[in-house]
Amino acid sequence: MDTHQEVISVTPEMARAHLLAWNMYSSAGLYKPYWHCAHLCERLMAMLAGKARNRMIIQMPPQHFKSTTTTEGLATYFLGCNPDKRVGICSYGAELAEDFGYRNRCRMEEYAPTVFGLEVDKVRKSKNNWCFKDHFNGGMVSVGVGGALTGKRLDLLIIDDALKNFEEAQSANQREAVWNWLTTVTMTRLSRGAPVVVIGTRWHPDDHMGRLIRQSQSNDSRTWELITLAAVATQDEYDAQGRLLRCKGEALCPEKHTMDELDEIRSMMTPFQWSALYQQDPTQPEGCHWPPDLFNERVIVDDWPEGLKYLVLALDPSSGRDQKNGDYPAICALGTRGDGLFYMDFLMQRAAPTQIAHNLVDYIMKLKAKTGVTPQLLGVEQVGLWELYAEKIIGQFERNGIWVPITEVSHQSRDKILRIQRLDPLISNREIRFINSLGTRIALDQFRDFPTGKHDDAPDSAEMACRIFPKAVYGR
């Protein structure tokens, strides 16, 4: 009898019929039918059969078979059943993506002949691009985030850990780069009805998975099926048929990670890290002033509204010496139509005063072209750099033939945290709409983390903008 059959009691016919059996058979018995693995395979099989939505987000902690089940198992199973289809594997780096492609190719070289009657092509068999013999229009391509997919049709797309680690996820620039690549490159290569599976562990409320979830919830389209499996259950969990999967407080896979082991892992992490990485709940760090859902997609708008009546700018300066870790010179634009809602946009860029002045003037000109309104006032924080910034800004105004009155904003030794907390009525009552821009994404990170975060330049500039806003309109 075949060794594989002796070890795991799965036949090639069973492996061809179901993803769970395929994962068990093609792993030489290393993949076990743990309840959560069986649950995932059932949902994935329903997706392939057209009995469930063709978009799925799977949130799971590390080392719980999420990549084994999907990026390796689902990808190879789908291709074995559909050799003329093309599968795309994407991950945070080209090296990791190629590794997935290589492992999948090796798996199919060993098991595809027996299970699917297929042979890997001997010519087109690179790590990141391979196919089956006599099925040259199909195959598997593997790319890292930012990689090119031009001309490559994808009939199944699997995105596995598009963000590398916690540090990378804290960068609004990196999250924006991942999101832009996801929406403008990968999703545009899909054939009609192609399934998409996004898997990973959660690092940040505004990561790509969070954005997809919020988009799906906000327009009630229910485009994405969300499967969230925390390391420790926070409540009793049931399947679609109402059958109990596990009870509150139970480990996800005690056969691999016992509660004692999970408790030891939790003891080495901050509450925020444990909540995000293992519980798939990237809430704000302990001690933050505002709950993160106050800054979700509900308060983010694509652009400034028509009919803007009042507009001011506020600048929180910085020397810009440390381009990587230093404070941001934050420019907040605050406007309203006079209907009770306020609109905020932010320009956040580490740069020297001369460049900041140039960027500010360029931003004012774009605002004028977009809204028809020139800011009525520019407030600049009274710090040691006040005179330098004012000089640079006035010089740029003169060179470009525009003028905005400049006022010095003094804090008069008021505590910064107490000053910024004055924004609470506007934020808690959702009276602010944030313009969707890279600067705003960076700013929202700072709002979520306030006052425990490393930077608070955006909230500081927002408070100043509110303080210089016409009292007749903003009466607080």
**Contact yes or no for 60/280 (Cβ under 8 A):** yes
pLDDT surpassing 60 at residue 24: yes
pLDDT in tens, 296-343: 888 999 999 999 999 999 998 864 444 444 567 899 999 999 888 999
Give the mean pLDDT of 251-271.
90
- Token readout for 474 is 């903003």
By the 8 A CB rule, do 124 and 130 touch? yes
Residues forming beta bridges with residue 141, ordered by sequence position: 88, 129
- SS3 at position 380: strand
Q: Is the pLDDT of residue 74 over 80?
A: yes
Taking the C-alpha atoms of residue 132 and residue 118, their distance in angstroms, rounded to an integer, is 7
Any idea which residue has 């959702």 for tokens? 430
103 belongs to a structural domain: yes
For tokens 């690549």, what's the residue?
181
Is residue 266 domain-shared with residue 375, that is, in the same domain? no
Domain final position from 247, 277, 307: 277
pLDDT tens digits along 184-212: 889 889 999 999 999 988 888 788 998 88
- Residues 406 and 470: their CA atoms lie apart, in Å, by 14
Structural Rg of the chain based on CA atoms:
26
Q: What is the pLDDT of residues 413-424, one digit of tens each?
A: 778 888 898 898
| Residue 278 or residue 296, greater confidence | 278
Q: Is 35 helix (H, G, I), strand (E, B) or coil?
A: helix
232 and 60 Cβ atoms separated by less than 8 Å: no
Residue 369 lies in a domain: yes
Domain annotation covers residue 118: yes
**Which long-range contacts (C-beta less than 8 Å, at least 24 apart) are formed by 401-405?**
402/361, 402/364, 402/365, 402/368, 402/374, 404/313, 404/364, 404/374, 404/375, 404/376, 404/377, 404/378, 405/376, 405/377, 405/378
Q: Domain boundary residue among 216, 249, 277?
A: 277
Beta bridge partner(s), residue 144: 91
Q: Do 254 and 377 fall within a single domain?
A: no
What pLDDT was estimated at residue 282? 80
Residues 440, 344 contacting (CB under 8 angstroms): yes
Q: Which of 116-130, 149-163, 289-303, 322-336 has the highest mean pLDDT?
A: 116-130
- Note whether 74 and 223 are same-domain residues: yes
Residue 1, pLDDT score: 30
Are 205 and 344 part of one and the same domain?
A: no
The 3-state DSSP class for residue 57 equals: strand
The domain in which residue 382 lies consists of: 292-468
Q: Is the pLDDT of residue 403 over 80?
A: yes
What pLDDT was estimated at residue 218?
A: 60
**Co-location of 224 and 347 in the same domain:** no
pLDDT at 474: 55
323 versus 459: the higher-pLDDT residue is 459
Number of structural domains found in the chain: 2
Q: Sign of dihedral through CA atoms 347, 351, 356, 359?
A: negative
Among the listed ranges 88-97, 365-374, 387-396, which one has the minimum average pLDDT value? 387-396
Given a contact cutoff of 8 angstroms between Cβ atoms, the answer to whether 434 and 443 are in contact is yes
Could you tell me the two tokens for 308?
């803007």
Reply yes or no on whether the pLDDT at 385 is more than 70: no
What DSSP line would sit under 71-114, residue for residue? IIIIHHHHHHH-TTSEEEEEESSHHHHHHHHHHHHHHHHHHHHH
Same structural domain, 270 and 359: no
Which of 20-34, 109-123, 343-357 bottoms out in mean pLDDT, i.e. has the lowest?
343-357
pLDDT of residue 202: 84
